[in-house]
Amino acid sequence: MEMTYIKAINSALMEEMRRDENVFMMGEDVGELGGAFKATEGLLEAFGEERVIDTPISEALIVGAGIGAAVLGMRPIVEMQFADFISCAFDQIVNMAATTRYRHGGRAECPLVVRAPSGAGIHGALFHSQNPEAWFTRVPGLKVVAPATVYDAKGLLKAAIRDNNPVIYFEHKRLYRSIKEDLPDADFTVPIGAAEIRKEGTDLSLITYGGTLGQSLDAAKIVEKEDGLAVEVLDLRTLLPLDRDAILATARKTGKVLVVHEDRLTGGIGGEVAAIISEHAFEFLDGPVRRLCALDTHVAFSPPLEEAILPNTNKIVDAIRSLAAY
């Protein structure tokens, strides 16, 4: 069945709530409105107000209540209406959810999913465009995923809901209705912690995730057609834990690596990927590991300024050609 990225999210929520009565949804406007982006449309009618709960505008309360429910055996899915405001729940996620299992010597679990609509390219300006994944990718006890395809949007969300650890699920807003895919009717999940090769290549490796996967694949096709370069594209899919084996395998295969992500350059997950390669595959490299990311600035409201700040296909093409010529 063909569906969009956001329909895949909705479908995953529907299926998991039908499968397990302990799964419930909580967040701002997730019930009566069906979510700001309609990701939770139809859930209230299907499952009632005891399992689809509209909350006050308080991210700390939403996540805190979710943690309490998770510890008591429920499987809450909580929505941050925009990922930018996940910072309001930072203490609950980092100091409470992430440490629950460790603090209780493995005798307590926190099966909590935090859905976080993230990303720019929609002219959302300062508070509706951020990619805050790197805040969480250094926190033991958390899992962090960022699906870039319709299949992964559904499969990773279902896997996250079934996981017994807190999972932050970053869904890119620009992808909601811009990509479609035929999905199987049968139940499926996508394993957390496993990257995926989206395009085979031998000349250069492009490592990416989330909103920049489509741009990266477009760029790879352009340089293959115009320059004869065979670029391998690796989609990380999971940012914590990183698939180190896949990262090192593609680096050793091609000898040149470009890391692309929409998060800012400084402190982004691309720096960790580059460090892994530099430490464990240095002798295979034929050039420096390079990064193409958003500029170290806030996302502008002005469309031309937003475009200047963010990665795009043309910028990726230029970066590939520069590294290939090194």
CA distance 161 to 155: 10
175 and 226 in a single domain? The answer is no
69 and 167 in a single domain? The answer is yes
- 264 lies in some domain: yes
pLDDT the model gives residue 67: 98
14 and 156 in a single domain? The answer is yes
Which among 128, 172, 280, 298 is annotated as catalytic? 128
pLDDT the model gives residue 116: 98
Is residue 165 left, alpha or beta, with left meaning phi > 0 and alpha meaning psi from -120 to 50? Answer: beta
CATH number of domain containing 155: 3.40.50.970
* 10-residue mean pLDDT series, the chain (326 residues): 97 98 98 96 97 98 98 98 97 98 95 98 93 98 98 98 98 97 97 98 98 98 98 98 98 98 98 98 98 97 96 98 97
**Tokens (6 digits) for 192:** 């957390």
pTM: 0.97
Q: 33 is in which domain, residue-wise?
A: 2-182
Q: State the CB neighbour count (10 A cutoff) for residue 302.
A: 11
- Give yes or no: 128 in active site: yes
- 188 lies in some domain: no
